[in-house]
Amino acid sequence: MLDSKTHKAGIIGWPVGHSISPVMHAYWLKEHSLSGAYDALPVKPGGLPKMLELLAEQQYAGVNVTIPHKQSILPFLDEVDPSAAAVGAVNTLVRKNKKWLGMNTDIYGFSKSLTEAVDVKKIQRVMVLGAGGAAGAVVKSLQELGFTHITISNRTREKAEELASHAGAKVVDWENKDTALERINLLVNTTSRGMKGEGGLDINLNMLPSQAVVADIVYNPLVTPLLQQAQEKGHLTVDGLGMLMHQGAAAFAAWFGITPKVDDKLRAFLQETL
Ligand code: ATR
């Protein structure tokens, strides 16, 4: 039996056509026999205030937020949870008591994906590649997991320095990242390199210790050139689909009060749509 309430959510971004969140949330709505929809809502830069008004009028429970709005939406929100505020970016809005609340479920999504795949107690030193919005969430998540030895390397060094200064992390020049891999136990790519349609990361993993784990937050393709290189060298790898599923599940729970399952069946379903 369908619930009498309409469960409305979606994703705002520009562009949004590439997102697989609509497919994932539609799967969960159906699985829980909830009436409603998760819409892909293209919003140009500058279109945020109008869209927030419209979403409130149409009684959306909330939306996900993607590129290029994750940071620029902050001034339009009534409240931002402390972790999202610390990162300076939100990926989820919840409409509650006529207010817009901002959250960042990417932080939880990355932690959950990592801790499911890896015994984090065995990891001491982490290197994060990239210093954009996604890197902020990943670094926050690493801090919340208790990591104290974090190194950040980014093509634009100033951005790495800015992120590192908030996180008490070190910075390595982009040109020196290959040699800095010596003694690293976990390498995480948060840059857009390796995404479908883009070239792979220019990196050589020869110095990376053999027991080190390599994670990528890119999920399309599932095996990025970085993960391919890591697998060829025998490293344990963590792909980006785990983070995507867990951040989505946390958003769904915040909107609808039901935590959907993240399991192999969902993974297989999403892999088919990629
Ligand atoms: P997101 O929110 O997905 O993190 P972003 O904030 O635009 O997006 O960040 C993109 C990241 O990918 C940045 O770290 C960027 O490096 P710069 O700060 O130097 O721009 C990185 N990136 C994008 N293209 C890259 C390339 N060709 N080589 C190396 N890094 C790249």
pLDDT, tens digit (0-9, with 9 covering 90-100), for 191-220? 999 999 999 999 999 999 999 999 999 999
For residue 2, what pLDDT is reported?
45
For residue 5, what pLDDT is reported?
81
Residue among 71, 87, 141, 155 to mutate when testing ligand 1 (max atoms within 8 A of CB): 155
Q: What is d(CA 242, CA 115) in angstroms, rounded to the nearest whole number?
A: 10
For residue 4, what pLDDT is reported?
63
For residue 79, what pLDDT is reported?
98
Q: What is d(CA 261, CA 121) in angstroms, rounded to the nearest whole number?
A: 25
Angle between helices 157-167 and 133-144 (to 10 degrees): 30
Which pLDDT band, with edges at 50, 70 and 90, does 243 fall under? very high
Task: Answer yes or no: 70 catalytic.
Answer: yes
Q: pLDDT at residue 1 above 50?
A: no
Q: What is d(CA 29, CA 250) in angstroms, rounded to the nearest whole number?
A: 14
Residue among 191, 218, 219, 226 to mutate when testing ligand 1 (max atoms within 8 A of CB): 191
Indicate which residue of 70, 112, 140, 177 is catalytic. 70
Looking at the chain, the whole-number percentage of residues with pLDDT higher than 70 is: 99
Query: Locate tokens 């210093």: which residue?
Result: 131
Strands (E), 154-272: 170-171, 186-189, 213-216, 236-238
Give the atom of ligand 1 at the shortest distance from the alpha carbon of 135: 4
> Global pTM?
0.96
Ligand 1 centroid, distance to 192 Cα (angstroms):
6
**Total number of residues shown for the chain:** 274
Strand order in the sheet with 170-171: 170-171, 149-153, 125-129, 186-189, 213-216, 236-238
- Beta strands 79-80 and 62-65, pairing class: unpaired
Residue with CA nearest ligand 1 atom 2: 133
